[in-house]
Amino acid sequence: MNTRASISSRPEHGSVLIIVLVICLGLVSLSLVFGHSMMMSYRGEDNDLAGRQADAAIRGAEQYAETIIANATVGNTLPARSTYQASAVPLGEAFFWFIGVPLANDPTDKPTFALVDEASKLNLNSAGATSLALLPDMTPDFALAIRQWRTTTGTDTGGSIGFNTVKAAPYESPEELALVNGGTDPSVLYGDDANLNHVFDPEESNKATNGGSAVAIGGTSATPASSSGTGQFNPGLLEYVTVFSREPNTMSDGTKRGNVLNGVGRLRNVLTTALGNARAQEIVQRLQRVRNFRSVVDFCQQATQQASLTTDEWDKITPYLTMSDGTYQVGLVNANTASATVLSCLSGMTTALAQQMVAARPPPGDAAASNLAWIAPILGSQAGSVGRYLTTRSYQFSVDVAAVGRHGRGYRRTLFVLDTSTDPTGPPQIVYQRNLSNLGWALGSDARTALRDAAAKGGVQP
């Protein structure tokens, strides 16, 4: 009887074992589910924290840029790169970068990190259709439409541009070009530079011109070509234009500048302030026969020829001179920072002269860069006419900030334009702000690799 009872109880023991195993499996599954959920929640919180750190770094970078500009050793000029940090600047667990425009000697296959001078570009609110038409890939019709957008009242049906609703008011941002002429093709504005970091990244291509493939015409997956098929990088129209460049017609102490277009007689007061009464009287007397001056450069050239104006005197008087009676001069191009492409668009300028100017520039931060004396010998007989479009002063600066939080996550990017023309004695003012995070990674592969390596080592400096 005992043997039979023992045998009959074995199925019951097996059923209990199976039930226990099922319960254990369920508990393990629940543990895995809860563990995975907690891990995903942790990752979400970590990414959120990284994003908030990047946002804080953006704000810190903007304030840092304000300090750089306010404390520039040479007033109203683009601060020299050597005077500030612009790449992988640590701020707590975050890092930020200032994305800049490459100079002539900078690499063309990786981003440059620096502040950008807005006066290095053509101003859409002052440039004529002739100058705009000389920009790369520009057509005369589109150049005319750009000008008419700000100047024509109502609608325009003349010319070959067709029916075009216009604004009849100044441009408020360069991106407003997308509205001109019924909507501009984005490839005209962006060119090959989809993320607006001023270089042709390997992943960038104009898919529309290559049947939707991942590589532009003439390129390979490793070295993509330009959207034009020429093998040259096309940065798009936004690389060369601005709406923010202007400079006040008063000195930082409130002294009103003298308009050279009004003749030498009305410059007596500012010349006296700059050079003293006796020297001012001498210059006025010797220039009385010159009835018209075309620009500040023309005035200084005439004073050099007729009154033996020295280079040191150029330094002293050019800050006191202007070509306008208004509160501001809008759209002057800075000869120290503009590219040869932009300089070549100025009326009377040739490509050869523009390239000579770029090659002959004083080093950034050099005192010689603060006046127009170095320009005149290069331009020669064109100095008077071309000089009316040129300046050596800058009051607006782009601060294109990209930032990441802990472990290289939470990528953020914001473009600021800081203006010092409204209150020369106060801090720079933010006059424009745009979120560029949606354009994607703009720091290049080197920064991505450095951040990944840094995260693997515990988040040390990339």
Element (H, E) at 300: helix 296-307
**Coil/strand/helix, residue 259:** strand
Bigger pLDDT: 16 or 431?
A: 431
C-alpha span between 314 and 249 (Å, rounded) = 18
C-alpha span between 435 and 196 (Å, rounded) = 12
Binning pLDDT at 50, 70 and 90, where does residue 218 land? very low
Q: What is the mean pLDDT of residues 155-166?
A: 51
Task: Report the interhelical angle of 277-286 vs 296-307 (nearest 10°).
Answer: 90
Contact 444, 200 (CB under 8 A): no
Q: CB within 8 A of 171, min separation 6: which ones?
A: 124, 125, 149, 150, 177, 243
For residue 362, pLDDT beyond 80:
yes
Nearest to 428, CA basis, from 120, 97, 118: 118
Nearest to 237, CA basis, from 191, 195, 170, 182: 191
How much is the pLDDT for 159?
42
pTM of the predicted model as reported, rounded to 2 decimal places: 0.83
Nearest to 295, CA basis, from 434, 182, 388, 228: 388
C-alpha span between 120 and 332 (Å, rounded) = 9
Contact 332, 346 (CB under 8 A): no
How much is the pLDDT for 426?
80
**297, 364, 372 from 358: Cα distances, Å:** 18, 12, 14
For residue 162, pLDDT beyond 50:
no
Q: What is the mean pLDDT of residues 39-54?
A: 77
Q: Are strands 89-91 and 94-100 parallel, antiparallel or unpaired?
A: antiparallel
For residue 214, pLDDT beyond 60:
no
**Coil/strand/helix, residue 309:** coil
Q: Which two tokens stand for residue 125?
A: 């609110």
Binning pLDDT at 50, 70 and 90, where does residue 104 land? confident
Q: Which two tokens stand for residue 80?
A: 């020299």
C-alpha span between 459 and 449 (Å, rounded) = 13
Bigger pLDDT: 460 or 243?
A: 243
Q: What is the mean pLDDT of residues 174-194?
A: 83
**Coil/strand/helix, residue 403:** strand
Q: What is the mean pLDDT of residues 416-438?
A: 91
Contact 182, 249 (CB under 8 A): no
Percent of the chain with pLDDT over 70: 84
Out of 147-161, 182-196, 366-380, 413-427, pick the least confident.
147-161
How much is the pLDDT for 137?
84
For residue 125, pLDDT beyond 70:
yes
C-alpha span between 376 and 411 (Å, rounded) = 46
Q: Are strands 94-100 and 112-113 parallel, antiparallel or unpaired?
A: antiparallel
Q: What is the mean pLDDT of residues 410-439?
A: 92
Contact 40, 32 (CB under 8 A): no
**Tens digit of pLDDT for each residue in 317-352?**
988 999 999 999 999 999 999 999 999 999 989 999
Mean pLDDT of the chain: 83
**Coil/strand/helix, residue 400:** strand
Binning pLDDT at 50, 70 and 90, where does residue 9 land? low
Altogether, the residues listed in the chain come to a count of 462
Cβ count within 10 A of residue 388: 20
For residue 167, pLDDT beyond 80:
yes
How much is the pLDDT for 2?
54
Q: Are strands 155-156 and 164-165 parallel, antiparallel or unpaired?
A: antiparallel
How much is the pLDDT for 208?
35
List residues bridging with 415 in a β-sheet. Answer: 400, 434
Out of 74-88, 147-161, 241-255, 267-281, pick the least confident.
147-161
